[in-house]
Amino acid sequence: MPIPESKGDLQRFLGMVNYLGKFVPKLSQTTTPLREMLKKDVHFDLQQPQLDAIQELKRLVTSPPCLKFYDPNLPTRLKPDASADGLGALLEQNHGSDDSPQWFPIAYASRALRNYAQVEKEALSIVFGTERFHEYLYGHHFTVFNDHQPLKSIFSKSITQCPPRIQRFFMKLQKYDFNLEYSPGKTMVVSDALSRAYLNNQSTEIDQPDLIHCIQFTFDNLSISDARLTEFQKETASDTTLQQLKEYTLKGWPQQRDIPQTVKPYYNIRHEIVYNNGLPLKGQRIIIPSSLRSTMKAIIHQGHTGIESCKNRARMSVYWPGINAQIEDLFLTVHFA
């Protein structure tokens, strides 16, 4: 973790330390210079006493008795988390009993992250944690706790029903033996702090050929040129609904009651939506901006004489709310008017 640069950073750091406080000797005494910095009338300016306290706290939480050695015979849990810009993971083992558990940290990790939908970040945090602690987890059963509740239902689906990136994450996790459990955010203090206080010289980026291939397949399937792809990107950028959808997808969704009416049709599929190359996708289907939907309906209808044939073609490639009903209306208008 880097040196805190604001009171908010310092509060986050102390929150993590306090969470581990029962394992940290002389915690109150060591944190005194830092707690002084959080007073309302004190200007935030870390001097040598505060810097020394931070280094000492880092030493304490990464040394015995706080940090334990890994024991393959003890119950193990992984607590990964994702913030807007980073990933964090905490590996713990129970040194107590089932009736009186005492979960001690074994290892910590954090990395920077950019340009992923929230559900992708949470899935990627599990991949990050398992790969970072591979030598501890591989070949042993463990439990993963995550505070993104929809992720558990997504993981229970068939891999073919998931967006391309998440399919890829699933494949990376196949070699591990774990259960996924939901845990409220208040229990993920350390992982949350790590995900928000990553080191800037680290980065985690996943290659994107799966999504690029998915987009190319869609345009090949519909015989759409590169020039039309550029048009899709341009129209998407100027579509206010899709731009609001992008913000929610990348930064997290509010309560349904707070969502504009134009975006509400996407709420129930929000965990299937990702963004790549300036385009939103529902799984492997491109979400079409409103200005181009009439054009797309005409392209879908070309050479297909039946309603089901048209809908199947659309189902493979494109999406917008109400697409099936609109294709049926178009078919009836063209063939029975």
pLDDT, tens digit, 9 for 90 and up, residues 283-330 = 778 899 999 998 888 877 665 556 676 667 667 778 999 988 887 776
Q: Is the pTM above the cut of 0.85?
A: no
CB atoms within 10 A of CB 181: 11
**Residue 332 has what pLDDT?**
64
For a pLDDT cut of 70, what percent of the chain falls above it? 84
CA distance 146 to 134: 18
**Residue 153 has what pLDDT?**
81
pLDDT at 206 > cutoff 50 = no
Contact call for residues 319 and 274 (beta carbons, < 8 A):
no
**Residue 201 has what pLDDT?**
46
**Residue 150 has what pLDDT?**
81
Contact call for residues 1 and 202 (beta carbons, < 8 A):
no
As given in the structure block, the two tokens for residue 335 are 């063939």
Nearest of 176, 25, 20 to residue 108 by alpha carbon: 20
Across 223-228, average pLDDT = 66
pLDDT at 27 > cutoff 60 = yes
Across 128-152, average pLDDT = 91
Which pLDDT band holds residue 219 (cuts at 50, 70, 90)? low
Chain centroid offset of residue 216 CA? 24
* Residue-averaged pLDDT of the chain: 83
pLDDT, tens digit, 9 for 90 and up, residues 305-316 = 566 766 676 677
**Residue 207 has what pLDDT?**
45
**Residue 176 has what pLDDT?**
95
For the chain, the structural domain boundaries read 7-62, 76-196, 209-336
**Residue 225 has what pLDDT?**
65
Across 177-186, average pLDDT = 91
Q: CATH assignment of 76-196?
A: 3.30.420.10
Positive or negative, the CA dihedral 212, 215, 219, 224 is negative
pLDDT at 334 > cutoff 90 = no
Q: What single-letter amino acid sits at 110?
A: S
Across 78-82, average pLDDT = 93
As given in the structure block, the two tokens for residue 63 are 């040394």
pLDDT, tens digit, 9 for 90 and up, residues 34-57 = 999 998 889 999 999 999 999 999
**Residue 89 has what pLDDT?**
92
CB atoms within 10 A of CB 258: 7
